[in-house]
Structure 1
Amino acid sequence: MTKHNSNKDLNNIYTSKALVPYGSNLSSTVGYPRFTALERKSILIPNNLFPVFIGILLSDANISRSYKGDARLQFKQTIKHIEYFYFVFSKLSHYCSKGPYTTRTIVHKKEHIGLGFTTRTLPCITELYNNFYVDNKKIIPSNLFDLLSWEALAHWIMGDGTYNSGVRIQTDSFTVKEVVFIMNILMIKFNLECSLHTQRGYPVLYIKSKSIKKNLHNLLPYMDNSMKYKVLGKKV
């Protein structure tokens, strides 16, 4: 067995002249021991991963916070979306102490199998919680205009979008006022034509077909192959 030389590794770090943007080389911390308070404070969300967090928070991710403690994020997908689940996990495993786990939920007396992962409790996740939650209820943050990007929108569509010539996004957990606010952002920032529909009495956001087709080049680069049908339609 080759003995690991930590001094040599440190010397390489100190003498390297390579320019490495923060966040471009983050690795998984699954299986690592519990972090100290100082280590947890040093973990940040870099620019290249921030849109992923925003997109999944607008769709399938949830954050919980313990009393006076930091928050952790949980992300779940049904087993049929396993490719997209691992697409997200591969990007965010730096924030996790454990690997994915199996989930089981009962809806209308039918069992649904899925996968989930939960991040460590971290100050950087608490910052997201403070932006997206009021009284422990998820909201649309007032600064969404600044937070939303094409990549974040792509994740939102992959999580909550349904192809219907254009794209219907399930926004039924938000108020009509919040959905109108989202529509204004999509129209002003991304020049997307949108309309407000109702489904079982709840507001649903619809992005028109013409706008989707015109902006495929802005969305597809950020989408997992298994989810591209949500903007392209399923092949017959």
Structure 2
Amino acid sequence: MHNIISSEDTRLVLYGSNLSSTVGSPRFTYNERGLIEIPLNKISVFIGILLSDANIHKINKGGDARLQFKQKYGQFEYLYYVFFQLSHYCSKGPFVTKAILHKKVHYGLSFTTRTLPCITKLYNLFYFEGKKIVPKNLYEILTWEALVHWICGDGTYNSGITIQTQCFTIEELVFIINVLMIKFDLECSIHKQDNYSLLYIKSKSIKKNLHNMLPYIHNTMLYKFLGPKYRIKSRFTTIN
């Protein structure tokens, strides 16, 4: 929207491939906000982080919504990897967060999008009566890229991959497993942890389909797919 393209330039440009950051740009007008859409090469990132750690909030009941994505400080590189892909929708860069849990200070990083109609569309897809749900059209919108971001946020390697799905109902979890098995040929099961049901993807399925996921995995997140020996220590684990 803020890119300047010469009228004499006849090159074909893939829609969405030339979106620039709008960080620091003035507040958009009503008409400008209505023109902003999410192209196919960005929607998978949104879908993946919404299935994991991202949340969408409406400031006013009848107004538009904004998305917030937060990670622990040790995942600094991954958060910026996501931010740089979505900075077209943000007015400010990531910021440090601080929380006290069990008398210990925990730092994190977070970024928030602008309040936009296109984010409201995602809100209507992922929320019902204020509670996050699994979209009914998950089969159509879930891609390998979206799955990678879901695992980066909520996945843990344990021979296979365990995904934290406590916020979803058992019916939603069964639905997710059907999507993963039919669309991606992933062997899945439900594992119990305390009173919660977690999604487990079997190791041989990961190995069989790793080539589909590798193009989207940030190198600091390889350990979530291949095990702890692939963990890369973050250069940004402490705050001075």
Normalising to structure 1: TM-score of the pair?
A: 0.94
| Coordinate RMSD, CA, aligned | 1.2
Q: Deviations over 1:149-172 (max 9, x none)?
A: 000000000010000011000001
Query: Please, which of 127, 135, 156 is the counterpart of residue 162 of structure 1?
Result: 156
TM superposition shift of 1:91: 0.2
Structure 2 residue identity aligned to 1:211: S
Partner of 1:4: none
Structure (1 or 2) with the larger CA radius of gyration: 1
The answer to whether residue 9 in structure 2 is matched with residue 13 in structure 1 is no
Structure 2 residue identity aligned to 1:51: S
**Percent pairwise identity:** 65
Listed as ranges, the gaps of 5+ residues in structure 2 are: 231-240
Aligned length: 227
Partner of 2:180: 186
Provide the rounded CA distance (Å) in 1 between the counterparts of 2:61 and 2:173: 30
Partner of 2:16: 23
The answer to whether residue 96 in structure 2 is matched with residue 107 in structure 1 is no
Q: Deviations over 1:114-157 (max 9, x none)?
A: 00000000000000000000011100011111110000000000
Partner of 2:112: 118
Provide the rounded CA distance (Å) in 2 between the counterparts of 1:154 and 1:228: 10
Provide the rounded CA distance (Å) in 2 between the counterparts of 1:173 and 1:146: 21
Listed as ranges, the gaps of 5+ residues in structure 1 are: 1-8
Partner of 1:214: 208
Provide the rounded CA distance (Å) in 2 between the counterparts of 1:123 and 1:28: 18
* Structure 1 stretch displaced more, 163-172 or 99-108: 99-108
Please give the secondary structure, in 1, of the residue aligned with 2:7: helix
TM superposition shift of 1:50: 0.5
Please give the secondary structure, in 2, of the residue aligned with 1:75: strand
Deviating 4+ runs (over 3 angstroms)? none
Normalising to structure 2: TM-score of the pair?
A: 0.92
Please give the secondary structure, in 2, of the residue aligned with 1:186: helix
